[in-house]
Chains A and B, each alone.
Chain A
Amino acid sequence: MPELRYLDALNRALHEEMARDERVVVLGEDVGAKGGVFGVTAGLLERFGEERVIDTPLAESAIVGCAIGMAVNGLVPIAEIQFADFLHPAFDQIVSEAARLRYRSNGAFGCPLVIRVPYGGAHGTALYHSQCVEAFYAHVPGLKVVAPSTPYDAKGMLKAAVRDPDPVLFLEHKRLYRLLREEVPEGDYEVPIGPAVLRRSGKDLSVFTYGWMLHETLRAAEMVRGEGVEVEVVEIRTLRPLDKATILRSVAKTNKALVVYEDNRFCGYGAEIAALLAEEAFEDLDGPVVRLGGPDVPAVPFARSLEERWMPDAERIAEAIRRLAWY
């Protein structure tokens, strides 16, 4: 099996899905000759032509809005928005249109489309290229929101998203694109949208996380292992619909829960996990549900010193683990 980077795994999935099904089209700004700002759509234009690999005008609402129309009329569009920060002009099309089409038509119209978007803090990408937007969209019934964090999952979940009958917001953490390699099977396989995954088994406490924070958490778990703390790490992976069963089962086993996420802590995605545990796992808990999130500033600042202070990292996660373990 070849070792692929996260972005190469996504690229393979796009090539394979476009070859498998001629209804699949890719659209967005720079997705053609340039191959996307990060190179995820490289080679698609040459192979599938400009009718199916559509360099669009710079207009995010139109990219998503036109994709909705394409989906309604028999295509399977995969829209790329260059950065999560640039999703905001398309917020209305995603939330009020794509997410509601099935419900508002009483099931008559579906909206099978995928919106791929890089998100999260990376080295030097600053305020307008680093936002975590998952809480905005995970809030909305009718959308599915996924955030795979390994090359294997990236390929398998993108395939699952393309084949899903509902609109899927596909979040790709920018720091993952080139930093991570993993064996990824050639050819077809799916990682289903929905199930969370146990990344590490432990008995002392559970950490629930996703995206880049999974990798920081796994490092933190190694750090505290020598101190006798055995951490269980559950990667949520699909933010909506949420796999409650896996989360509740893990807490029933470890009796303590830490939620780690990069988004602003206040009203961030982790709040939903904390609320779920408070409501449905109260009897299992031997300590408070703790959230470790990004600080409540708009997004990652540019200067290195500020950036380093901003991102939750393995050291800070390890510290939170220790405090909770000793509780």
Chain B
Amino acid sequence: MYYYMILARVLDERMWQLQRAGRARFVVSAPGHEGAQVAMVWPLDRERDWLVPYYRSLAACLVKGLSPTEILLSVLAKAPDPSSGGRQMPGHYGSPRLRILSGSSTVGTQYPHAAGIAYAAKLRRTGEVVVVSIGEGGTSEGDWHEALNFAGVHRVPCVFCVENNRYAISVPVRKQMPVESVAVRAAGYGMPGVSVDGCDVLEAYRVMKEACDRAREGEGPTLVEFRVERLSPHSSEDQQERYRSPEDLEAARRRDPIPAFGSYLRSVGLLDDARDQALWARARREVDEATEDAEQAPDPDPATLTRHVYHDPDPDRPVDSVYWFGGE
């Protein structure tokens, strides 16, 4: 778990370096969310269960199975990018192989999808569990509420996660919702709601494990709120110093989950300086190699622009002549 948190952080930093160097056109990332995200995916069966991510789900997608190279292929919009082949902005992760559902930029829309995937899992009796995530800003969307309502009625095997970092871009949480906690809203949808410190990795994992077990045993959905910190701006187009005070940012930095988890591991004798340094060095090496691989990958061929609008056994056929049904 600790290594994945480090790997996500190093990868995150690399994404920003690539953006500043003009090699990546856009970055959206999630330093501060790593602990919650690693805890979120850790109880899942990596092959069988589903992750329905959002644009900050970097660490979650790494744990689910996307490699650093695959992440950087999307950051650099390269042809072999498994998420979208360079069609979407970075951060829109997806892979049918890993059961990570492709998402859009509109927040909240993925919540009904997760409920539907979970409904199908229940109907088909596959034993699959679905984990979906969103920021607390997205919980204002109608889709969020509609999905929880549907899932509550049908008791589907889904864990609805909310990564509450207290800011929807610049709008603070007190202007987004009139309640103290997202988790209390669960009562309105007939499911348990838990609020957990997402910077406390093991406690977050315990909560997720319990929620996933409930789902797998047919006891229905759970809403889990992770209280986390957003250490970076919303995206590479944002400057959070404009709307967050230095004190607020400093307090957030003090809650960085990586040193916190490192301290815990040291306290129980599982980590020392040498081991820690080795882990960081390994992550940097892995990300360096991934960067090299991703940069060498080809850009998408402009001739593929019109592919995959509709299902077509011959994807090389341009869409403008997509009157392939005939008409004779």
- Write the B132-170 contact mask toward A (1 if CB under 8 angstroms, else 0): 000000000011001101100110000000000000000
Please state if A97 and B113 are interface contacts (CB–CB under 8 Å).
yes
Q: How far is the CA of A65 from the CA of B84 in the complex (A)?
A: 20
A34-78 contacts to B, CB under 8 A, are 51-52, 54, 56-57, 59, 61-62, 64-75, 77
Q: How large is the interface on A (under 10, 10 to 19, 20 to 34, 35 or more residues)?
A: 35 or more
Given known pairs A92-B109, A96-B109, A106-B87, the reply for A141 and B309 (CB within 8 Å) is yes
- A246 partner residues in chain B, CB cutoff 8 A: 327
Whether a CB of chain A sits under 8 angstroms from the CB of B308 is: yes
Are A73 and B84 in contact, with the CB atoms below 8 A?
no
> A70 — which chain B residues lie within 8 A by C-beta?
116-117, 119-120
* Interface: A298 (CB within 8 A): no
Please tell me if the beta carbons of A193 and B325 are within 8 angstroms of each other in the complex: yes
Is A25's CB within 8 Å of the partner chain B?
A: yes
Q: Is the CB of B119 within 8 A of A72?
A: no
Contact of A72 with B327 in the complex, beta carbons under 8 Å: no
**CB-nearest residue of chain A to B307:** A107
B51 to chain A, nearest CB (A): 12
Task: Determine how close the nearest CB of chain B comes to the CB of A69; give it in whole angstroms.
Answer: 2
Interface size class, chain B: 35 or more
Question: Which residues of chain B come closer than 8 Å to A165, judged between CB atoms?
Answer: 310-311
Interface contact A245-B328, CB-CB below 8 Å: yes
B85 at the binding interface (Cβ < 8 Å)? yes
Please determine whether B150 and A195 come into contact, CB atoms closer than 8 angstroms: no
Give a binary string over B101-121; 1 marks a CB under 8 Å from any A CB, 0 the rest.
110101001011111111111
Contact check, B310 vs A144: say whether CB atoms are below 8 A apart: yes
Complex: A108 Cα to B101 Cα, angstroms: 10
Chain B positions within 8 Å of A243 at CB level: 323, 325-327
A102-B310, A104-B92, A105-B83 are contacts. A195–B120 as well, Cβ < 8 Å?
no
CA–CA, A107 and B315, complex, Å: 9
Known A-B contacts A72-B101, A73-B121, A92-B109; A194 and B323 likewise in contact (beta carbons under 8 Å):
yes
> A51 to chain B: which residues have CB within 8 Å?
123
One of B102, B114, B123, B326 near A108 (C-beta < 8 A): B102
Task: Report yes or no: A65 in contact with B323, Cβ–Cβ below 8 A.
Answer: no
Is B31 close to A, CB under 8 A? no
- A251-B167 Cα distance, complex, nearest whole Å: 59
12 A-B pairs within 8 Å (CB atoms) are namely A52-B123, A59-B149, A66-B116, A75-B123, A104-B88, A104-B94, A106-B83, A109-B101, A142-B310, A166-B311, A193-B325, A196-B327
Which of B's residues lie within 8 Å of A, judged by CB? 50, 81-88, 92, 94-96, 101-102, 104, 106, 109, 111-121, 123-124, 128, 142-143, 146-147, 149-150, 153-154, 307-311, 315, 319, 322-328
